[in-house]
Amino acid sequence: MSNEWHELTDLTGDRPFVITRVRLAQSGVAIEGEFDVPPLARLTYEDQVFVSEFVRSHGSIKDMEKAFGVSYPTIKNRLNRIAGKLSPVQVVTEAPAAPVLDEDPLGMLERGEITAADAAERLRR
């Protein structure tokens, strides 16, 4: 994570903020508006580093103990504190699409929408 991001999280602290301008470094193209900040980006720089290491260690608390030189309860307490700052993720699953009722296969064949073989198959069903 860049040093600039560290400064941004220090500046904003736990206060809410909105990104209003994004500039693509390579092209210089800038987009202005109000952009939501991803939940992980709202964490302090130190907490972002901690979460990154947790992911890299595949969630191994034993590896986290070694990486940070702290005990199991310390790792668990920090994870609980960070989890408390994050909103629960709401996964939206789409209901399966309702089956589309075939139109009249002979009408579809007549309009050239399906082949004769397709029409025969649909009529058999």
Please write the tens of the pLDDT for every residue from 71-85: 999 999 999 999 998
Give just the sign of the alpha carbon dihedral 55, 59, 45, 42: positive
Give the rounded percent of residues in the chain with a pLDDT score beyond 70: 87
pTM score above 0.75: no
Nearest-10 Cα torsion for 12, 16, 20, 24? 60
Buried/exposed 87-103: b ≥16 CB within 10 Å, e otherwise = eeeeeeeeeeeeeeeee
Architecture of the CATH domain 3-85: Orthogonal Bundle (1.10)
Tokens (6 digits) for 72: 């199991």
Residues 44-94 pLDDT 10s: 889 999 999 999 999 999 999 999 999 999 999 999 999 998 888 788 887
Identity of the residue numbered 111: R
| Ranges assigned E (strand) in 3-121 | 19-23, 30-35
The confidence score (pLDDT) of residue 89 equals 78
The CB density around residue 85, as the number of other CB atoms within 10 Å, is 13
Strand partners, 19: 35
